[in-house]
Amino acid sequence: MSLPTESLQTDVSRVDWVDIAKGFCILLVVMMHATLGVEKATGEPTVLNGFIEWAKPFRMPDFFLISGLFLAARINRPWRAYLDSKVLYFAYFYVLWLTIQFAMKAPGMISASGFEATAIAYLTGLVQPWGTLWFIYMLAVFFVTAKLLHDAPKALVWTAAAMIYLAAPHTGWLLVDEFAARFVFFYTGYWAAPVIFRYAETITKAPVGLVAAALVAWAAMNALFVENGLAFVKGLDLWVSYAGVAAVVAFSVILLPTLPGRALAFCGRNSIAIYLAFPLFMGPARVVALKLGSIIPDWAAALISMSAGVFGALILAHLVKGTRFAFLFTRPKAFAWSTARRPASRRAERIAVF
C-alpha cells in the first residue's frame, strides 16, 4: 500500500510570468554548471563563458527574489504548519538528494580519501550546504528568518540585510556567506511583492517594441558593467542585480503569448525537479561529449551536457510520477507533521520557491 504523499507540484492556478522567469533562471543555472564543468575538464574557457559572466549579476538574485514573492500568503501560518512546509519540506529533499549525489561520488571519494573522510564529508553536508543543493538549504534558513522577523519594521529588516550584504563576509562557512549575499534579495521579493506585480502589470500594457528596445539597452549596459568589473563593485552590484531582476520580469512578461514562453513556463513549473536531478545526467553526458572533442567544439559539449541535465531531469520526474519511486520528487506524508494545518486556499500552497 502506498503512503499518502504531498506533491512537489500543486495543481493550482499560477502566475505565468513567474513560471517563465523561474524557467529562464533554472536554464541559466544548469548552463553555468555545464559550462564550468567542461572548462574545468579542458582547462580552457569556452565561448559561452562570456554569457555566463553576463548573467552572473542577476542569475541567483532573481531566483531568491522570486522565492519571496508569495511569502506574505504563508507567513501568518502557525509555527508548526510553517515549519512543516518551509523547513521539513526542504530538509526532506535536501537530505534525500544529498544522499543520492554522495552515493554517486562515494566510490571516487573513498578511493582518493578513504571511507572515514568520505563519511565525515557526508555528515558535514548536513550542516554545511553542499554542492548544487545549497540553494534548497538556504531557502529553509531564509523562510525561518523572515518568520522570526515578521513583526519587525520591514524597512529596518531590509536595511540590515543590505548592510550585511555590503559587509560581504568571507568566513568560508557557506551558511554565513550565502546568507549575507542572498537574504536581501529574498526579503526584497517578500517586501516589494506588490510593487513587483504592479510593475509586471505595467509591462503587459506597454508596447512590446518599446519593452524590447529597453531590454536591448539594459543587456548592453549590463555587458558593459560586467566587462569593466563595475557589476561586481560592492554597493553598485546590488543595484545592478536589481536592474537585472527587473529585466528578467519584463522579458518574462513579453514572452507570455509565445511558444518559447510556454516552454520556459514548463521548465519553471518543474524547476525544482530540474534543480534536484540535473547533476545525475549532466556529468555522464559531459564525459561522453568531451570524448567527441575532435568532432565538436567545447561549447557544444557544454550545451550537450546542459541539455542532458534538463531533459534527463524532466524525463525522470515524468517516469517516476505515480510509481514507488515518486518519493524522489514527492514528499511522503510520513516525513511531514501530518497534524500541521493546511491552508484553506490551495492558491496559498503554490510552490513558488524556484
Would the pTM count as exceeding 0.75?
Answer: yes
pLDDT above 70 covers a percentage of the chain that reads 91
Amino acid at 227: E
CA distance 311 to 281: 9
Q: What is the DSSP letter of 289?
A: H
- Average pLDDT (66-95) is 92
Q: At what angle do helices 134-148 and 59-68 cross, to 10 degrees?
A: 40
pLDDT at position 316 over 90: yes
pLDDT tens for each residue of 236-257:
999 999 999 999 999 999 999 8
21 in Cβ contact with 268 (< 8 Å): yes
Mean pLDDT of 329-352: 61
**Alpha helices, DSSP H, located in 192-297:** 193-205, 208-228, 236-254, 259-269, 271-290
pLDDT band at residue 340 under the 50/70/90 scheme: low
* Per-residue confidence band for 350, with pLDDT thresholds at 50, 70 and 90: very low
- Per residue in 15-71, pLDDT (tens digit) is 899 999 999 999 999 999 999 999 999 999 999 999 999 999 999 999 999 999 999
Joined grid coordinates for residue 243:
536592474
Question: How many helices (DSSP H) and strands (DSSP E) are in the chain?
Answer: 15, 2
Contacts of 340 (CB under 8 A, 6+ apart): 80, 81, 83, 84, 85
